Amino acid sequence: MSQGKYIESFDSHTKRFLSAMRGQFRDQDSYDEMLYSNDEILYEIFEVKRPEVAGELLHGISLIHPGKVGDEYFMTKGHFHTELETAELYYCLQGNGMMLMETPEGEWAVEVMAEGNVVYVPPRWAHRSINTNPAGDLVLFFVYPANAGHDYGSIEFQGFRKVVIERDGQPVVEDNPRWLPPESR
Binding residues for its own copies, rule: CB under 8 A, are: 1-3, 5-6, 9, 48, 50, 54-57, 59, 83, 85-89, 91, 115-118, 120, 122-123, 141, 143-145
Q: Which is nearer to its own copies, 76 or 86 (CB)?
A: 86
Taking the complex as a whole, how short is the minimal distance between the CB of residue 145 and its own copies, in angstroms? 6
Taking the complex as a whole, how short is the minimal distance between the CB of residue 174 and its own copies, in angstroms? 27
Q: Which is nearer to its own copies, 73 or 144 (CB)?
A: 144
Taking the complex as a whole, how short is the minimal distance between the CB of residue 167 and its own copies, in angstroms? 27
Nearest residue to 80 (alpha-carbon basis) of 138, 49, 121: 121
Q: Which is nearer to its own copies, 17 or 120 (CB)?
A: 120
Q: Which is nearer to its own copies, 126 or 165 (CB)?
A: 126
Taking the complex as a whole, how short is the minimal distance between the CB of residue 86 and its own copies, in angstroms? 4
